[in-house]
Amino acid sequence: MSDIAIEFRGVVKRYGSATAVAGIDLSIAKGELVTFLGPSGCGKTTSLRLIAGLELPSEGQVFIAGRDVSRAPASERNVGMVFQSYALFPHMSVLENVAYGPAIRGTRRSEAHARALEILDQVGLAGLQDRLPAELSGGQQQRVAVARAIVQQPDVILFDEPLSNVDAKLRRKVREEIRALQRRFGLTAVYVTHDQEEALAVSDRIVVMDRGTIAQVGTPADLYERPETPFIADFIGDANLIEGEVLKGQFSAPGIHLDIGGQSGKATLSIRPERILLSRGGSDHVLSATYLGSRMEYVIAAQAGEILVSRSIAEPRFQVGESVSLVISSKDAFRVA
């Protein structure tokens, strides 16, 4: 048996003259949580809908559990979905909501109820089965939506921006619950969000999309620490993108010289704000100093341009106008172009 749960082969989706997905190749392993992340309009929702069967590809193929489902309607794919609006039936109890899927697929009512109760217990909702959705918190409603998807034992579960309707304060908790349930049940999950922190927090791997194509695929640490393009560096977290030139392995930009190795020629380095140290005195100066509670953020007017620097609250502070110099280690600089 193959370990691949979902595969895209050369998938293209066009709407008239607009191309939403412009040729995607991707394999998702069983038990993996993969997130599609990217700016508005990059094609992440369309990619999710192509797995669900809510859209059919214009070109290429989609495989689920080894079966070519490219032309199969949604009803013939064993895929569960959790939407941002939960889409719970408001007039049905929690129990009826979860038992609904098995019941319409012909499971006896008593058995559907027994299965629903078991799943509700597993997602931490035991005792709430007789409530209506409106009588639950946002986080609890989200768990009902997850329970309703997993009671069907899907090959794949899809999450479409599942936290958009959850109170900002609850989001961290709910995303941890989703991740814990996905791990506990060994579910293969595909998750769509435009929030990079959420993607870093929940994913085994992240697929960053840009204008219908895959810009980079990797673990959260791969993307944050080893971005391959300026777009990725800038999209995942904050990055200083510094343009210069490499000659004999030495990168040079005005006021910045780093031994990075590699090919000679024009180069762009990505350096994270928290990787830059500041020392007192020098030819650069502090343009702004912002207190953010957990850290200080400085904008430094350097010869190479404005540089964002993030430092711990515990370190000595710098004042606006103060002369400083940047201390950058070559191991913290990544060539992204």
Binding interface with ligand ATP (CB under 6 A): 15, 18, 20, 38, 40-46, 194
Cβ proximity to ligand ATP: between 21 and 333 the closer is 21
Q: What secondary structure letter does DSSP report for 240?
A: E
For 30, counting Cβ atoms within 10 Å of its Cβ (0-12 exposed, 13-18 middle, 19+ buried), the class is: middle
From the CB of 214, what's the least distance to ligand ATP, in Å? 12
**Minimum Å distance from CB 208 to ligand ATP?**
11
How is residue 151 written in tokens?
A: 């009671």
Residue with token string 């700016």: 39
Least distance (Å) between residue 43 CB and ligand ATP = 4
Query: What is the DSSP track for 85-102?
Result: TTT--TTS-HHHHHHHHH
Shortest distance, CB of residue 166 to ligand ATP, whole angstroms?
A: 17
Cβ atoms within 10 A of the Cβ of 98, count? Answer: 32
Beta bridge partners, 143, equal none
Whichever of 35 and 46 has its CB closer to ligand ATP, that residue is: 46
Tokens of 283: 């030819």
| Closer CB to ligand ATP, 15 or 89, in the complex | 15
3-state secondary structure 24-59: EEEEEECCCEEEEECCCCCCHHHHHHHHHCCCCCCE
Task: Give the integer Cα–Cα distance in Å for 337 and 231.
Answer: 10
- Least Å distance between CB 20 and ligand ATP? 3
DSSP character for 331? G
Residue 245, beta-bridge partner list: 252, 266
Nearest-approach distance from CB 209 to ligand ATP, in angstroms: 7
Based on CB atoms, which residue is closest to ligand ATP, 84 or 93?
84
Nearer to ligand ATP, 35 or 240 (CB): 35
Residue 229 to residues 53, 196, 210, 216, 250, Cα–Cα distance (Å): 32, 16, 11, 8, 20
Q: How many whole angstroms separate alpha carbon 148 and alpha carbon 146?
A: 5
How near is the Cβ of 163 to ligand ATP at its closest, in Å? Answer: 14
**Residue among 194 and 285 whose Cβ is closer to ligand ATP:** 194
DSSP output for 242-261: EEEEEETTEEEETTEEEE--
Task: Name the residue nearer to ligand ATP (CB basis): 14 or 275.
Answer: 14
Closer residue to ligand ATP (CB): 21 or 99: 21
For residue 324, give every residue at least 6 positions away whose Cβ sits within 8 Å of its Cβ, in sequence order, or none.
278, 279, 280, 281, 282, 284, 285, 286, 300, 318
- What is the smallest separation between the CB atom of 180 and ligand ATP, expressed in angstroms? 26
User: Which residue from 273, 161, 162 is spatially nearest to 224, judged by alpha carbons?
Assistant: 273
Minimum distance, C-beta of residue 193 to ligand ATP, in the bound complex (Å) = 9
Nearest CB to ligand ATP, comparing residues 6 and 181: 6
